[in-house]
Amino acid sequence: MIEVKNVDKSFDGNQVLKNVSAVFETGKTNMIIGQSGSGKTVLMKSIIGLHRIEKGRIEYDGRNLPDMQMKEIRILRREVGMLFQGSALFDSLSVLENVMYPLEMFSLTTYEEMKERAYFCLKQVNLEEKAFGLAPSEISGGMQKRVAIARAIALQPKYLFCDEPNSGLDPKTSLIIDHLISEITHIFGITTIINSHDMNSVMEIGENIIFIENGEKAWQGNNKDIFHVDNEALNGFVFASELYKQVKKANQ
Amino acid sequence: MSLLSETGKYFLLMERVFVLPDRQRMFFRQFPKELEKLGLQSLPIVIIISVFIGAIMTMQTKLNSSNPLLPTYTTGLVTRDTLLLEFSSTIMCLILAGKVGSNIASEIGTMRITEQIDALEIMGVNSANYLILPKIVAFVVMMPFLVIFSMALGLIGGYGVGLFTNIITTGDYLSGIQYAFVPFYVFYSVVKSLFFAFIITSVASYYGYYAYGGALDVGKASTNAVVNASILVLFFNILITSLMLN
């Protein structure tokens, strides 16, 4: 479980996060949603420790991140997997080597065992074996996302972060990626935090949703409650598209 | 103030670079790749430039020193000493600052803007150490070989002038390059080049590592890396020369 308590963060005097508190539960797909510029990416990067916060606590199962030294943060990060918006696969390595990379860096197993684990992770994300030897630039965006997920889970992380996992993907592939993340979260009991503004994802897999508005937590709930909330900003976000307006009408 | 903060940032980065690698086998896997990429792939440009500059230097020296009172070995001697003292170390390093510097800055800069460096950091890898240390060590190791190779090829280029033109005889040229040879000049040149290799790789890595934005910014980082590495090479050339040759 990750707990964020009274977090403030500003850049050059501009306060981006204002007293944000939230709980991200283990074994659930936790989502941070909000409009562009609302502060959700800053919140996620603060939770991971890529931004140093000015005030508050970020507790990874009781371990407060802001109190940690760089060395301790590095050790903690070995328990973290991350799926980047652009996949962030290493260009110079093949698909298989990308997944093996964290294993080679941090596990003490033999090469064969590492390869076996990498194969397992790649099979877990339904990637065909013929793609294993290809370079990241030779596979599609959806496949790159799958490889990135496989790499993120290679070291059996306790915490998985996904930054806009569906950006640049078609609706069908987005759905596959969403279900993959959800499945992995439940199978391995991971604390997953997804940063997204894709309402389809929210409706599909949002078990614990935090809505950020102007750097403040404006609402927290799940994908069942989100349609029935009396919050103007949230409604403006959720029902921005014609499709969801129709869904709302149909529900009424 | 900006210069001071940039210098501070550079040294803080170097502090992160010069630590024992998390996994030594990963370092030793990366190291030969960098030797090949930064060293061996620089050979063609070193060969072409050294041979041609050696030849041109011989021709120019001979054609511009027509005084009959000058000894016949002058051309060979001037060519040799210019190659040994400045060309094969300083000028060659300035050229390599362009090739290797832009290569490193754009590679690391691209990794930065495509979040590959963030991915390494999230994994708990010391990205500065993993990406930069093998490059610095590889280029510092390769540089003496490139310098000595350049010296030899420059001299061969000059010999070619004697062989294929009537400007100078090969006999005069050969006696010139052997006359009053100071072995310390080779040592001096190699020592200088080690410093230059460090400057080129570390400065380029610094600009790449702190690149931000898009492709245009990686280009800017690459240009800054080459310009600043070149200026530092020239500055340290004066410093090392005054320390070693005075």
* CB-based contact A105 B119, cutoff 8 Å: no
Closest partner residue to A105 among B116, B122, B125, by Cβ?
Answer: B125
Q: Is A89 on the interface with B (CB under 8 A)?
A: yes
Rounded Cα gap, residues A94 and A98, in angstroms: 6
Q: Give the residue among B140, B146, B173 at the shortest CA–CA distance from B61.
A: B173
Q: Is A206 on the interface with B (CB under 8 A)?
A: no
Helix (H, G, I), strand (E, B) or coil at B60: helix
User: pLDDT tens, B141-182?
Assistant: 999 999 999 999 999 999 999 999 989 999 999 999 999 999
The CA distance from B22 to the nearest CA of chain A, in Å, is: 7
Q: Which residues of A touch B116 (CB under 8 A)?
A: 88-91
Helix (H, G, I), strand (E, B) or coil at B182: coil
Q: Give the residue among B3, B181, B206, B23 at the shortest CA–CA distance from B108.
A: B206
* CB-based contact A105 B116, cutoff 8 Å: no
- Answer yes or no: is pLDDT of A88 > 80: yes
Q: Which residues of A touch B26 (CB under 8 A)?
A: 104-105
- Predicted confidence at residue B1, as pLDDT, reads 55
User: pLDDT tens, A24-49?
Assistant: 999 999 999 988 888 888 999 899 98
User: pLDDT tens, A100-110?
Assistant: 999 988 887 89
Q: Give the residue among B104, B196, B105 at the shortest CA–CA distance from B143.
A: B196
- Predicted confidence at residue A252, as pLDDT, reads 66
- Predicted confidence at residue A96, as pLDDT, reads 95
Closest residue, chain B, to A148 (C-alpha): B119
* CB-based contact A74 B26, cutoff 8 Å: no
Q: Is A111 on the interface with B (CB under 8 A)?
A: no
Mean pLDDT over the full length of chain A: 88
Closest partner residue to A88 among B22, B26, B119, by Cβ?
Answer: B119
Q: Is B241 on the interface with A (CB under 8 A)?
A: no
Q: Is B123 on the interface with A (CB under 8 A)?
A: yes
Q: Is B23 on the interface with A (CB under 8 A)?
A: yes
Distances in Å between the alpha carbon of B110 and those of B107, B212, B222?
5, 9, 10
* CB-based contact A88 B22, cutoff 8 Å: no
The CA distance from A86 to the nearest CA of chain B, in Å, is: 7
* CB-based contact B121 A50, cutoff 8 Å: yes
Which DSSP string corresponds to chain A? Answer: -EEEEEEEEEETTEEEEEEEEEEE-TTSEEEEE--TTSSHHHHHHHHHTSS--SEEEEEETTEEGGG--HHHHHHHHTTEEEE-TT----TTS-HHHHHHHHHHHH--S-HHHHHHHHHHHHHHTT--GGGTTS-GGGS-HHHHHHHHHHHHHTT--SEEEEESTTTT--HHHHHHHHHHHHHHHHHHT-EEEEEE--HHHHHHH-SEEEEEETTEEEEEE-TTTGGG---HHHHHHHTTSHHHHHHHHHH-
Distances in Å between the alpha carbon of A245 and those of A76, A211, A230, A239, B183?
43, 19, 15, 5, 84
pLDDT band at B130 (very low <50, low <70, confident <90, very high): very high
Rounded Cα gap, residues A162 and A81, in angstroms: 9
Distances in Å between the alpha carbon of A20 and those of A36, A46, A57, A170, B75?
17, 11, 10, 33, 77
Q: Which residues of A touch B25 (CB under 8 A)?
A: 104
* CB-based contact A50 B22, cutoff 8 Å: no
The CA distance from A137 to the nearest CA of chain B, in Å, is: 13
Closest partner residue to B118 among A75, A81, A88, by Cβ?
Answer: A88
- Predicted confidence at residue B207, as pLDDT, reads 97
Q: How many CB pairs under 8 A join A and B?
A: 57
CB A56 within 8 A of CB A7: yes
List the structure tokens of A111. Answer: 């090469």
- Predicted confidence at residue B108, as pLDDT, reads 97
User: pLDDT tens, B115-126?
Assistant: 999 999 888 889
Q: Which residues of B touch A80 (CB under 8 A)?
A: 122-124
- Answer yes or no: is pLDDT of B246 > 80: no
User: pLDDT tens, B67-77?
Assistant: 888 898 999 99
Q: Which residues of B touch A90 (CB under 8 A)?
A: 116, 119
Instruction: Find tokens 């030779």 and name the residue.
Output: A138
- Answer yes or no: is pLDDT of A148 > 80: yes
What is the average per-residue pLDDT within A80-89? 89
The CA distance from B119 to the nearest CA of chain A, in Å, is: 7
Closest partner residue to B116 among A74, A75, A88, by Cβ?
Answer: A88
Q: Chain B, 97-116: which have a CB under 8 Å from a chain A CB?
A: 110-111, 114-116
* CB-based contact A106 B123, cutoff 8 Å: yes
The CA distance from A149 to the nearest CA of chain B, in Å, is: 12
Q: Is B126 on the interface with A (CB under 8 A)?
A: yes
State percent of chain B over pLDDT 70: 100
